[in-house]
Structure 1
Amino acid sequence: MKLDQLRAFIAVVETGSFRSAADAIHKTQPGISAAVKTLEAQYGILLFDRDSYRPTLTAEGHAFFQQSKKLISQAQQLENLGHDLAKGTEAPLHLCLSQMAVDDNSMMRIKAFQKQYPDTSLDITTDHLYGVQEALTKNQCEIAIGPRYGLDDRHAFIELNKITMVTVVSPELLDTLSINGNKVKQQSLYGIPQILVTNTTANSTENGHRYILPTGKRWYVNDFQTKKTMLMHGLGWARMPKHIIQSELENGQLVPIDVENFTSQNQLPIFMIRLRHQTQSYQANLFWEMMKNLSPIEK
């Protein structure tokens, strides 16, 4: 068994075909097929059911795939460590934060860690929705901080805090809405764009957004700062993390609304997340344990 054979096998599973796998890892299709057949011959098992239109994992293939992903992840980490050691440098701790989780709580935690371990470098990226967990599976970070999107048995996670989500519009838009008691009628929002931050994952779909009206316009932006600016200019309505718009709520540039039959406001738990099978670096373990001591509930 060779790592290249495992990479070929994993590529077929993740892309859905031998041809797409060949394109994804820059190999020939016959080379991909030969790598998979060699693995099957070596262990005397069938990894794929080839009777269907697309290659489908057998029960043995599914189990083999799970362990293959673990091994490739560990091999990649070992390779990265080797390069860092050769340079005489310590690898930074890679964190991915949900854009919704860039608040005072997260910053105070990171500051506390940096104060206790001042020689540890941090490489921090931000993403949104399922993109945060995708950064973990693609080995782009060791630890993620964000809401519970896409978490399953592969993940270990600890709740760090909760953020408040609130639905808002500009005062000028509020004057155009139909009100029933204290609630805004859904129908009055159908002609106004609901502004959403784009789901950045490779298989991005609208399903990444849990709080959308079934009918109405939807506009997409890349980040919450753009979303806030558009809201302030009366270009739409949206749910926003309260900590991002606190000053705008206080000075009246944005106004909270309660929409009929819609989750206009709620508390959203924020978690620290890692992959259970992933071998953690020394720095990642330090960060995890420190955050764990600050937040005692681990799941």
Structure 2
Amino acid sequence: MNLSHLKMMITVANLGSLQKTAEQLNRTQSAVSMALKKLEENAGFALFNRDGYRLELTEQGQHFLRQAEEVVRQQQRLQSLATQLKHGAEPLLTLCYDHTCDSKLWVPSIQHIQQQYPTTELHVDGESQMRALKRIDNGSADLALCPWLPLFRQYGDFETLPVAPFELTVVISTALMKEFGRMPQSRQDLLELPMLVPQNLEIGINLDAVLRLPSQQRIRVNEVNTQFELLMAGFGWGIIPKHIALDALEQGKLVEISIPGFVQQVRLEIHLVRSANRTLGPAANAIWESFA
């Protein structure tokens, strides 16, 4: 069976449309249709039910799809391994981190790579709205640090390691609190104040649905440092990583909001993330092992 045909079949299963698959893979619709026909001829049964508007897998097709995905993953791993064996240490290693994380977590890794793999060029990229995860999924980054929720696994084939605690806290500036006349004591109080909230994440998660926080007025930002500056300037209240707000909290410029029955703190973990479909090179693998 042809690997490209398997990849087409997987894409059709995800999109449910020959036309959308053709557009995504830069093929003609007839080429995709022919690939499916050849696969079904080789398999000896129908992979898709074509009666409805959207192509749906048959029961046999569902079993076939799982094995097809594994074959494609194995091919990707083998290709990645061949590249590493051919070239040795990576000429370029791209490390990503979400801006909500402390970038200093990369420092020991960078020092190690400079000493052990001096010919490997390092790119360290900060990203917002969980784009770091998206870059791991599309192969434009080798490793990423980001806050982790189990539901992220549905957006890519990831392997992760927990590396540090991650805490979110609800804060308001002292200046805004004085202007309001009191510390917010209820959800109703929060409704009367603007909320500084992140924009929806790049990986398709609606934060409004997840956080369910009260506010009639919203200022949406796409980067946590901008959110912090606006919080400090008294433009509203919001949820922010505690390590970013820590100095301002200690100096009394920001105050944590505590309302009975309302979320005050969220405790998660920062994870190191890699793709399960690619084999890490020596330098990236050394970083992974150091965190493990």
Provide the rounded CA distance (Å) in 1 between the counterparts of 2:95 and 2:191. Answer: 38
Provide the rounded CA distance (Å) in 1 between the counterparts of 2:142 and 2:148. Answer: 17
Q: Identity over aligned residues, as a percent? A: 26
Gaps spanning 5+ residues in structure 2: where? none
Structure 1 residues 77 and 222: CA distance shift in structure 2, 3 A: farther
Provide the rounded CA distance (Å) in 2 between the counterparts of 1:33 and 1:239. Answer: 49
| Alignment equivalent of 1:174, drawn from 148, 164, 177 | 177
Provide the rounded CA distance (Å) in 2 between the counterparts of 1:91 and 1:199. Answer: 35
> Which residue of the partner structure matches residue 55 of structure 2?
55
Q: Which moved more, 1:66-75 or 1:25-34?
A: 66-75
User: What TM-score, normalized by structure 1, do the two folds share?
Assistant: 0.80
The 5 A counterparts of 1:280-291 are 280-291=280-291
> Which residue of the partner structure matches residue 222 of structure 1?
222
Q: CA deviation at 1:173?
A: 1.9
Q: CA deviation at 1:107?
A: 3.3
Q: Does 1:107 align with 2:106?
A: yes
The 5 A counterparts of 1:127-146 are 127-128=127-128, 130-146=130-146
> Which residue of the partner structure matches residue 257 of structure 2?
257
Q: Which amino acid aligns with 1:146?
A: C
Structure 1 residues 65 and 253: CA distance shift in structure 2, 3 A: farther
The answer as to whether partners of 1:95 and 1:125 remain within 8 angstroms in 2 is yes
Q: CA deviation at 1:237?
A: 1.2
User: What TM-score, normalized by structure 2, do the two folds share?
Assistant: 0.81
Q: CA deviation at 1:146?
A: 1.6
Residues 151-189 of structure 1: CA distance to partner in whole angstroms, max 9, x if unpaired? 44944322111133221112232135586xx86311111
Structure 1 residues 126 and 46: CA distance shift in structure 2, 3 A: farther
Q: CA deviation at 1:69?
A: 4.5
Residues 250-269 of structure 1: CA distance to partner in whole angstroms, max 9, x if unpaired? 33332222134222123321
Q: CA deviation at 1:91?
A: 3.1
Q: Which moved more, 1:217-226 or 1:191-200?
A: 191-200
SS of the aligned residue for 1:100 comes to coil
Q: Which amino acid aligns with 2:107?
A: M
SS of the aligned residue for 2:210 comes to coil
Structure 1 residues 212 and 16: CA distance shift in structure 2, 3 A: same
The answer as to whether partners of 1:178 and 1:188 remain within 8 angstroms in 2 is no
> Which residue of the partner structure matches residue 187 of structure 2?
186
Q: Does 1:67 align with 2:81?
A: no
> Which residue of the partner structure matches residue 235 of structure 2?
235
Structure 1 residues 10 and 95: CA distance shift in structure 2, 3 A: farther
Provide the rounded CA distance (Å) in 1 between the counterparts of 2:280 and 2:245. Answer: 36
Q: Does 1:12 align with 2:12?
A: yes
> Which residue of the partner structure matches residue 244 of structure 1?
244
Residues 248-291 of structure 1: CA distance to partner in whole angstroms, max 9, x if unpaired? 22333322221342221233211112233432222221111111
Q: CA deviation at 1:227?
A: 0.8
The answer as to whether partners of 2:166 and 2:241 remain within 8 angstroms in 1 is yes
Residues 34-87 of structure 1: CA distance to partner in whole angstroms, max 9, x if unpaired? 1222222223343323334312233224314422541464477479769x95xx
Residues 94-120 of structure 1: CA distance to partner in whole angstroms, max 9, x if unpaired? 22212222343x133334433543513
CA RMSD, Structure 1 to Structure 2 (Å): 3.2
The answer as to whether partners of 1:113 and 1:290 remain within 8 angstroms in 2 is no
SS of the aligned residue for 1:273 comes to strand
Q: Which moved more, 1:91-100 or 1:149-158?
A: 149-158
Provide the rounded CA distance (Å) in 2 between the counterparts of 1:124 and 1:47. Answer: 43
Structure 1 residues 100 and 66: CA distance shift in structure 2, 3 A: same
